[in-house]
């Protein structure tokens, strides 16, 4: 199904327990940058990175090119401090009321409140370098602490619909993964 403005779900406040835990809004629209015909999302699908590779349908996967308006406001997360600054500026603090066992309700932890972010920004882009330098890095300040995780790949989270075109491009046919059929032999001290 093609992404459409009529089915776009903007984030709402307050965040539920899963949204605090995952640091993402539920039912979000994510995109990944295509460079030379490939994108991080394709690798995520091919390598079954977190929930990305699970899919709800068998391949091939339909792909669309979404072209944002030139006026789209995109905040760049290029490292752990940028994630922390975003969380501090648009904080969600408080308890995890869902009872989900996780660290999202730990004292002083803040995550972005996506509904507040959407007032000033249309999208949040976590660059590849930003992912490498922010994933699982704890940053503390007087406002609280952050621990960016679970985004897994370079991607952009869209909190507002700001696309001028949505074009169908060729389907993605997952490739055989490099580890498919790989059966490593583990060596323990006892076997040496």
pLDDT score for 39: 65
Q: How many separate domains does the chain show?
A: 1
pLDDT score for 94: 54
| Dihedral angle of Cα 11, 164, 40, 137, to the nearest 10 degrees | -40
pLDDT score for 182: 43
Examine residue 187 and state whether it is found in any structural domain, yes or no.
Answer: no
How does the average pLDDT of the chain come out, rounded?
79
Examine residue 186 and state whether it is found in any structural domain, yes or no.
Answer: no
Residue of higher predicted confidence among 136 and 96: 136
What residues have CB less than 8 Å from 107, skipping those under 6 apart? none
Read off the pLDDT of residues 52-81 as tens digits, 9 standing for 90 and up.
554 556 677 778 889 999 999 999 999 999
Examine residue 111 and state whether it is found in any structural domain, yes or no.
Answer: yes
pLDDT score for 82: 97
Examine residue 190 and state whether it is found in any structural domain, yes or no.
Answer: no
Domain that holds residue 65: 5-178
Examine residue 87 and state whether it is found in any structural domain, yes or no.
Answer: yes
As a whole number of angstroms, the distance between CA 108 and CA 146 comes to 9
Predicted confidence (pLDDT) at residue 22 exceeds the cutoff of 70: yes
Residue of higher predicted confidence among 97 and 107: 107
pLDDT score for 14: 82
Predicted confidence (pLDDT) at residue 101 exceeds the cutoff of 50: no
Examine residue 188 and state whether it is found in any structural domain, yes or no.
Answer: no
- The string of DSSP codes covering the chain is ----GGG-----SS--HHHHHHTS-TT-EEE--EETTEEHHHHHHHTT-GGGGT-SSPSSEEEEEEEE-TT--EEEE-SHHHHHHHHHHSEE-S--TT---SSTTSTTB-EE-HHHHHHH-SEEEE-HHHHHHHTT-EEEETTEEEE--S--SSEEEESS--EEEEEEEEEE-PPPPTTTT--PPP--GGG-
pLDDT score for 72: 97
pLDDT score for 41: 65
Examine residue 103 and state whether it is found in any structural domain, yes or no.
Answer: yes
Examine residue 183 and state whether it is found in any structural domain, yes or no.
Answer: no
Predicted confidence (pLDDT) at residue 163 exceeds the cutoff of 90: yes
Predicted confidence (pLDDT) at residue 181 exceeds the cutoff of 90: no
């Amino acid at each position: 199904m093609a992404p459409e403005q009529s089915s776009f779900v903007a984030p709402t406040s307050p965040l539920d327990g899963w949204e605090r835990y995952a640091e993402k809004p539920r039912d979000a629209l994510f995109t990944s940058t295509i460079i030379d015909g490939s994108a991080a999302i394709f690798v995520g699908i091919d390598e079954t990175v977190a929930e990305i590779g699970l899919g709800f349908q068998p391949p091939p996967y339909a792909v669309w090119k979404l072209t944002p308006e030139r006026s789209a406001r995109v905040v760049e997360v290029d490292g752990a401090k940028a994630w922390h600054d975003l969380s501090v500026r648009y904080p969600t603090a408080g308890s995890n009321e869902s009872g989900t066992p996780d660290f999202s309700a730990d004292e002083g932890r803040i995550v972005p409140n996506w509904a507040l972010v959407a007032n000033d920004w249309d999208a949040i882009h976590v660059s590849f370098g930003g992912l490498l330098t922010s994933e699982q890095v704890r940053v503390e300040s007087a406002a609280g602490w952050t621990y960016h995780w679970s985004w897994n790949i370079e991607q952009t989270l869209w909190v507002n619909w700001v696309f001028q075109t949505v074009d169908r491009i060729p389907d993605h046919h997952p490739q055989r993964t490099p580890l498919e059929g790989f059966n490593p032999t583990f060596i323990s001290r006892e076997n040496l």
